[in-house]
A and B are shown apart, each in its own frame.
Chain A
């Protein structure tokens, strides 16, 4: 069993819809939680990070962490075609990250 599980998708939504992404994990020692966005043929870029359980909002993006359920989520409101990418969750106990496999998202105009 992988430490971090993420549905590979693809997840296809119409423009303007809410995109909902999630990851589950098994290591209760994970303290830091991140979401990366990766466009085709590019390296991942850090989108959001959280430390504790709860919600964090940044523009159209909201990250949620539920440590009791070992579950994290990313929501993208008012999705745009430019949001089409692969989204990777990542988590760590310190400075070494463990990544989920990534979810491919397609936002159709």
Chain B
């Protein structure tokens, strides 16, 4: 069964900490994405990557960075965590340049910043 695996289901971090969220996919997908999901705001795209070492800003990149050193791994970094970054973070992957193949999502990381 193909999978997108997010390293942590729940995280609690302190304000100002540097936070790393890891995502690994085993489907050889080219494209990987990081979203955050908040009640009333839906899914919002933070960053995405179409290839190794490539990254593009999504709709809400401020306060975040990403790293993709290997095809299967896409990391989201919160440079200095703040309470407004408390959210559910979802990683997804897809292949090719055709949107109809859809995304495969991980189970999410619920991050609380205190």
Residues of A within 8 A of B (CB): 8, 31-32, 34, 36, 41-46, 49, 51, 88, 90, 92-97, 99-102
A/B interface sample: 10 pairs, CB < 8 A: A43-B4, A43-B92, A44-B105, A46-B104, A94-B98, A96-B45, A97-B103, A99-B42, A100-B42, A101-B41
> Do most interface residues of chain A lie in helix, strand or loop, or is the interface mixed?
loop
Q: How many contacts between A and B, using CB within 8 angstroms? A: 62
Residues of B within 8 A of A (CB): 4, 31, 33, 40-43, 45, 48, 50, 90, 92, 94, 96-108, 110
**Known contacts A34-B102, A42-B107: A88-B43 contact under CB 8 Å:** yes
**Known contacts A88-B43, A101-B40: A94-B108 contact under CB 8 Å:** no
**4 shortest interchain CB distances as A-B pairs:** A43-B105, A92-B99, A101-B42, A32-B99
Q: Does B43 contact A93, Cβ atoms closer than 8 Å?
A: no
CB proximity of A8 to chain B, nearest CB, Å: 7
